[in-house]
């Protein structure tokens, strides 16, 4: 168990050979045609962060409008456009590809001891399908059916859920937008298929299912959901397009269609998609906490089973989004009860993370602070989810700011912060360089203070009856909204500085040790940044205790 000696010997190997995936071929063409999973991960990262920035901008415009009661600088119509922009960009273009397309692509082959994913060209295809979907989404969001590019009052305004019947009648470019989501779905499916086959087929000798890093388990479960759930939303959106163009009478009540049927179809995908967003983040946290607690993860098997249970349960709970939409009492009781049961595997995970830290020798580095913050925020996200799953309570809380706050604790507190934690943790792996830990902690502080300042008041607003998606509100809500707006700007500044800092350090940062965190996990056993083919020789995994066992033999020799 001599981590230091091991990393040192690997380090000297790499110094003799300074060619890595970043410099082995240069020029923009070598990037955009690369089938290297690491480069594709980086291209995805740059692209999704661009949309994260745009989606954040739309959020800040909304928060500015909401800082004071009464109309300020937006009209109600443009406010609707803003929350549609925010939701659609953040969901379809940032958080759904999110960790799998970026960190998953970068890490998965490294973590199973493979030279690449099993279908490298399909991997590059998934990126370009994403780009095509993204361009369609931008056109759809900003250009209405009538073709008025700069007339913002005519931009799409249905919200990211495209609920019928409004989405059938809205003047916004719903057909183009849903077609974009349809195309983006293929990108997600291709990534999922690639990951499933890669994990089945390309594990290094000795990398048994019982030795897989928890991030790989999380990516596997996510890939299964991506592959099984995404086609359902694809078909649903095609039906919506047909309803709009041809009036087939499936969702439009005027033609005998059923808008609640649309909600069933939509949430059959869009609840599992929440786990596409957060399961990979669970995996990230499960990698970070053991390294900085200097302990193996507590209850490895329980973590893996809990991951699979969450993925399966995710398919059984969709109609909890419709508890007050007129479904029968019997189904409401069923969906409420099954939703409660999701809390069990989730609590198992939280228990495992906390037990891993217990009596560990904890190092409070930037990634560890993000991981610990994640656990705290996800506790709030999970417990408030139980409130919303409770039938009597949901009658009051549905469609209020309570839902907005719960959702953002899950998706921003979970998935987005999970991605930032992953970037801070694997940055030395990806770039071979180190950032300023002090500045990293400063961005952590901004993000956490800003996040809680934004969304804790929204729980209170929701409990007091403030409806979501409203442009205006009664004066009694004003002070809470003001706090929320200040928080949103602090939060946004935190993300902006964190990403700018890492981008700057990727270019100008100092070279660091190959394995600065002294991790024993397999991905740190090859040079940092890794060579094009990851491992010069496929490693043989022996006697592996996850995260703190004997290092792999044979890597980078
Ligand atoms: Cu849900």
User: Model confidence over 255-289: pLDDT tens digits?
Assistant: 999 999 999 999 999 999 999 999 999 999 999 99
Comparing 309-323, 444-458, 481-495, which segment has the lowest mean pLDDT? Answer: 309-323
**Is residue 552 scored above 60 in pLDDT?**
no
If you measure from the C-alpha of residue 192 to the centroid of ligand 1, how many angstroms do you get, rounded to a whole number?
Answer: 21
Give per-residue pLDDT as tens, 77-125. Answer: 899 999 999 999 999 999 999 999 999 999 999 999 999 999 999 999 9
**Is residue 51 scored above 70 in pLDDT?**
yes
If you measure from the C-alpha of residue 441 to the centroid of ligand 1, how many angstroms do you get, rounded to a whole number?
Answer: 33
Cα gap 506→521, rounded to integer Å: 23
Span 311-321, average pLDDT:
93
**Is residue 551 scored above 50 in pLDDT?**
no
Q: Residue 145 is encoded by which pair of tokens?
A: 């059916």
If you measure from the C-alpha of residue 385 to the centroid of ligand 1, how many angstroms do you get, rounded to a whole number?
Answer: 9
User: What 3-state DSSP class applies to 540?
Assistant: strand
Beta bridge partners, 467, equal 400
Among 37-41, 68-72, 295-299, name the most confident range. Answer: 37-41
Residue closest to 42 by CA, chosen among 21, 27, 61: 21
If you measure from the C-alpha of residue 149 to the centroid of ligand 1, how many angstroms do you get, rounded to a whole number?
Answer: 34
If you measure from the C-alpha of residue 314 to the centroid of ligand 1, how many angstroms do you get, rounded to a whole number?
Answer: 8
Burial class (CB within 10 angstroms; exposed 0-12, middle 13-18, buried 19+) of 487: buried
Q: What is the DSSP string of 432-467?
A: SEE--HHHHHHHHHHHHHHHHHHHHHHHHHHHTTPB
Cα gap 463→306, rounded to integer Å: 32
Span 547-556, average pLDDT:
45
Comparing 41-45, 304-308, 324-328, 477-481, which segment has the lowest mean pLDDT? Answer: 324-328
Q: Are 416 and 280 in contact (CB under 8 A)?
A: no
Range list of H helices, 67-115 = 76-88, 98-99, 105-112
Give the angle subtended at the CA of 304 by the CAs of 425 and 354, to the nearest 5°.
60
Q: Are 220 and 199 in contact (CB under 8 A)?
A: yes
DSSP state of 415: I
- What DSSP element (H or E) covers 274? helix 272-293
Q: Are 414 and 381 in contact (CB under 8 A)?
A: yes
If you measure from the C-alpha of residue 342 to the centroid of ligand 1, how many angstroms do you get, rounded to a whole number?
Answer: 11
CB atoms under 10 Å from CB of 481, counted, come to: 21
Q: Which residue has the higher pLDDT, 3 or 325?
A: 325
Residue closest to 492 by CA, chosen among 5, 11, 62, 36: 62
Angle of helix 417-431 relative to helix 366-389, nearest 10 degrees? 150
Residue 339's pLDDT is what? 94
Give per-residue pLDDT as tens, 123-152. Answer: 999 999 999 999 998 888 777 666 666 778
Comparing 89-93, 285-289, 499-503, 541-545, which segment has the lowest mean pLDDT? Answer: 541-545
Residue 147's pLDDT is what? 64
Give per-residue pLDDT as tens, 148-200. Answer: 667 787 788 888 999 989 999 887 778 888 999 999 999 999 999 999 999 99
Q: Are 285 and 371 in contact (CB under 8 A)?
A: yes
Beta bridge partners, 400, equal 467
**Is residue 6 scored above 90 in pLDDT?**
no
If you measure from the C-alpha of residue 407 to the centroid of ligand 1, how many angstroms do you get, rounded to a whole number?
Answer: 9
Comparing 62-66, 241-245, 346-350, 516-520, which segment has the lowest mean pLDDT? Answer: 516-520
Q: Which residue has the higher pLDDT, 536 or 472?
A: 472
Q: Are 390 and 336 in contact (CB under 8 A)?
A: yes
Q: Are 353 and 303 in contact (CB under 8 A)?
A: no
If you measure from the C-alpha of residue 318 to the centroid of ligand 1, how many angstroms do you get, rounded to a whole number?
Answer: 5
**Is residue 501 scored above 60 in pLDDT?**
yes
Q: Residue 78 is encoded by which pair of tokens?
A: 């443009």
Distance of CA 321 to the CA centre of its chain: 20
If you measure from the C-alpha of residue 274 to the centroid of ligand 1, how many angstroms do you get, rounded to a whole number?
Answer: 7
CB atoms under 10 Å from CB of 367, counted, come to: 27
Cα gap 270→233, rounded to integer Å: 8
If you measure from the C-alpha of residue 347 to the centroid of ligand 1, how many angstroms do you get, rounded to a whole number?
Answer: 17
Please state, rounded to an integer, the average pLDDT across all residues of the chain.
90
If you measure from the C-alpha of residue 349 to the centroid of ligand 1, how many angstroms do you get, rounded to a whole number?
Answer: 19
Comparing 10-14, 392-396, 530-534, which segment has the lowest mean pLDDT? Answer: 10-14
Residue 16's pLDDT is what? 45
Give the angle subtended at the CA of 345 by the CAs of 229 and 356, to the nearest 5°.
125
Cα gap 286→349, rounded to integer Å: 9
- State percent of the chain over pLDDT 90: 77
Span 474-498, average pLDDT:
97
Residue 543's pLDDT is what? 61
Q: Residue 285 is encoded by which pair of tokens?
A: 């946290």
**Is residue 547 scored above 90 in pLDDT?**
no
Residue 99's pLDDT is what? 95
**Is residue 494 scored above 50 in pLDDT?**
yes
Span 302-315, average pLDDT:
94
Cα gap 460→480, rounded to integer Å: 8
Cα gap 222→275, rounded to integer Å: 7
Beta bridge partners, 152, equal none
Q: Which residue has the tokens 């929701």?
A: 462
If you measure from the C-alpha of residue 299 to the centroid of ligand 1, how many angstroms do you get, rounded to a whole number?
Answer: 27
Give per-residue pLDDT as tens, 403-438. Answer: 999 999 999 999 999 999 999 999 999 999 999 999
Residue 4's pLDDT is what? 33
Q: Which residue has the tokens 């931009």?
A: 155
Residue 349's pLDDT is what? 95
Q: Are 191 and 120 in contact (CB under 8 A)?
A: no
If you measure from the C-alpha of residue 377 to the centroid of ligand 1, how many angstroms do you get, rounded to a whole number?
Answer: 18
Residue 18's pLDDT is what? 77
**Is residue 442 scored above 90 in pLDDT?**
yes
Distance of CA 19 to the CA centre of its chain: 32
DSSP state of 287: H
If you measure from the C-alpha of residue 270 to the centroid of ligand 1, how many angstroms do you get, rounded to a whole number?
Answer: 7
User: What 3-state DSSP class applies to 553?
Assistant: strand
User: What 3-state DSSP class applies to 511?
Assistant: strand
Burial class (CB within 10 angstroms; exposed 0-12, middle 13-18, buried 19+) of 372: buried
Q: Which residue has the tokens 């007050």?
A: 324
Instruction: Name the band, by pLDDT with cuts 50, 70 and 90, for residue 74.
Output: very high
């Amino acid at each position: 168990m001599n981590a230091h000696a091991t990393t040192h010997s690997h380090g000297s190997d790499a110094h003799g050979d300074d060619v890595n995936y970043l410099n082995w071929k240069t020029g923009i063409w070598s990037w955009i045609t690369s089938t290297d999973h690491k480069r594709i991960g980086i291209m995805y990262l740059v692209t999704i962060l661009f949309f994260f920035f745009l989606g954040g901008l739309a959020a800040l415009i909304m928060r500015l409008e909401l800082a004071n009661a009464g109309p300020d600088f937006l009209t109600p119509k443009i406010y609707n456009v803003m929350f549609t922009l925010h939701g659609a960009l953040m969901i379809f273009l940032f958080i759904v590809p999110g960790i799998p397309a970026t960190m998953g692509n970068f890490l998965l082959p490294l973590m199973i001891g493979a030279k690449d994913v099993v279908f490298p060209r399909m991997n590059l295809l998934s990126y370009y399908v994403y780009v095509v979907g993204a361009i369609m989404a931008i056109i759809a969001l900003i250009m209405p059916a009538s073709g008025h590019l700069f007339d913002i009052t005519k931009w799409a305004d249905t919200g990211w859920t495209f609920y019928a019947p409004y989405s059938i009648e809205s003047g916004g470019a719903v057909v183009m937008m849903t077609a974009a989501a349809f195309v983006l779905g293929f990108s997600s499916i291709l990534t999922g298929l690639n990951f499933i086959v890669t994990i089945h087929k390309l594990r290094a000798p000795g990398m048994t299912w019982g030795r897989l890093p928890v991030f790989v388990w999380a990516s596997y479960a996510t890939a299964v959901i991506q592959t099984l759930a995404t086609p359902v939303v694809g078909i649903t959106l095609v039906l919506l397009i047909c309803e709009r163009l041809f009036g087939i009478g499936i969702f439009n009540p005027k033609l005998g269609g059923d808008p609640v049927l649309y909600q069933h179809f939509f949430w059959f995908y869009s609840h599992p998609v929440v786990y596409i967003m957060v399961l990979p983040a669970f995996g990230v946290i499960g990698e970070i906490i053991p390294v900085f607690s200097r302990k193996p993860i507590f209850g490895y098997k329980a973590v893996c089973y809990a991951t699979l249970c969450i993925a399966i349960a995710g398919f059984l709970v969709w109609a909890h989004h419709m508890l007050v939409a007129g479904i029968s009492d019997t189904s409401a009781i069923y969906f409420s009860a099954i939703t409660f049961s999701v809390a069990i595997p989730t609590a198992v995970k939280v228990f495992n993370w906390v037990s891993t830290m217990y009596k560990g020798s904890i190092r409070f580095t930037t990634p560890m602070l993000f991981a610990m913050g994640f656990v705290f925020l996800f506790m709030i996200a999970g417990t408030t989810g139980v409130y919303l799953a409770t039938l009597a309570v949901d009658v009051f809380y549905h469609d209020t700011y309570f839902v907005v706050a719960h959702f953002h604790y899950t998706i921003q507190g979970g998935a987005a912060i999970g991605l930032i934690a992953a970037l801070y943790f694997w940055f030395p792996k990806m770039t071979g360089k180190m950032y300023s830990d002090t500045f990293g902690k400063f961005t952590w502080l901004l993000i956490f203070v800003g996040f809680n300042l934004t969304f804790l008041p929204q729980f209170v607003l929701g409990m007091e009856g403030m409806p979501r998606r409203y442009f205006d509100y009664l004066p009694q809500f004003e002070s809470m909204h003001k706090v929320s707006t200040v928080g949103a700007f602090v939060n946004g500044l935190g993300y902006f500085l964190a990403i700018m800092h890492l981008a700057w350090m990727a270019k100008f940062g100092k070279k660091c040790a190959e394995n600065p965190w002294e991790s024993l996990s397999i991905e740190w056993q090859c040079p940092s940044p890794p060579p094009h083919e990851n491992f010069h020789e496929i490693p043989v995994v022996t006697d592996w205790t996850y995260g703190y066992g004997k290092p792999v033999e044979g890597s980078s020799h």
